[in-house]
Amino acid sequence: MRRSEKGGVPMDANERAEFVSLFPVWDHLSPPEQEETIRQARVVHYEDGRRIHQGGDECLGLLLLRKGGVRVYMLSEDGREITLYRLDQGSACILTASCVLSTITFDVHVDAEGETEAYLLDAPYWAELCRQNIYVECLSYRLATERFSEVMWAMQQILFMSLDRRLAVFLSDELVRGGGDTIHLTHEQVARYMGSAREAVSRMLKYFSSEGIVELSRGGIHIKDKKKLRALAAH
């Protein structure tokens, strides 16, 4: 899975430049910290769908995503999954280094979505860097706080259910009315017909899109997964 183990193949100049661009507080590292960080970084590969991190596991470390993405979710004892958020290329995944932050006391699962490549700074090194550089420690907490916001949004959708269900019902009804697979309405129109705020509808449509339920284009809303849509509407 890992191309270069610690102390293995060093990064080439391009990788080095990319790594630096992905590392959010690079300029706050001292030159020796920069050197050591470059030395510690490893390139890791994950196939689509591969489990990267799981609750209760010893933790991996900080991932800087250079390709692909990850899905972060909670898993219940009986196997139900709740997607909390997704991270794309260019993002830093801190919850794979949750053990470094003593204030994080929950477990999540992280899976690769698509062929995924990342720079990994392993947990012991990340912990050391957090201890010695307040900007790195602050970065860790700031990243965690960003994820907190994403989780809160997901939770509101899940717990209060109104908008996603209403939108699913609306789209299902429109499908029946129109007869095809595509609904030729703008987000503005959908929002107006539903009596909701356009931003909220747009955001929810984006969420539907990330879940593979719809595909958004200039021409309208194409329904990709009718079964999933109906399940959402009916639930």
Is the CB of residue 22 less than 8 Å from the CB of residue 138? no
Assess 228 for contact with its own copies (CB under 8 A).
no
Report, in Å, the least distance between residue 20 CB and its own copies. Answer: 21
Beta bridge mates, 185: none
Assess 195 for contact with its own copies (CB under 8 A).
yes
Q: Which of 99, 141, 169, 215 binds its own copies (CB under 8 A)?
A: 141
Is the CB of residue 61 less than 8 Å from the CB of residue 114? no
Alpha-carbon distance 221 to 174, whole Å? 11
Q: Scan residues 102-121 and list those touching its own copies (CB under 8 A).
A: 103-106, 108
Report, in Å, the least distance between residue 148 CB and its own copies. Answer: 4
Q: Which residue number, 11 or 99, has a Cβ lying nearer to its own copies? A: 99
Q: Which of 17, 160, 173, 178 binds its own copies (CB under 8 A)?
A: 160
For 221, the 3-state DSSP assignment is strand
Assess 132 for contact with its own copies (CB under 8 A).
no
Region binding its own copies by CB under 8 A among candidate stretches 60-68, 97-105, 114-122, 206-214: 97-105
Is the CB of residue 29 less than 8 Å from the CB of residue 36? no
Q: Which residue number, 145 or 186, has a Cβ lying nearer to its own copies? A: 145
Dihedral Cα 21, 23, 24, 29, nearest 10 deg:
-110
Q: Which residue number, 59 or 183, has a Cβ lying nearer to its own copies? A: 59
Report, in Å, the least distance between residue 109 CB and its own copies. Answer: 13
Alpha-carbon distance 164 to 112, whole Å? 25
Assess 147 for contact with its own copies (CB under 8 A).
yes
Region binding its own copies by CB under 8 A among candidate stretches 31-39, 98-106, 209-217, 223-231: 98-106
Alpha-carbon distance 67 to 86, whole Å? 13
Alpha-carbon distance 62 to 144, whole Å? 12
Q: Which residue number, 18 or 137, has a Cβ lying nearer to its own copies? A: 137
Assess 77 for contact with its own copies (CB under 8 A).
yes
Name the CA radius of gyration of the chain, rounded: 21
Distances (CA, A) of 165 to 13, 53, 86, 169, 171: 49, 31, 21, 6, 10
Q: Which residues bind its own copies (CB under 8 A)?
A: 74, 76-78, 80, 82, 101, 103-106, 108, 134-135, 137-138, 141-142, 144-149, 151-153, 155-156, 158-160, 162, 195
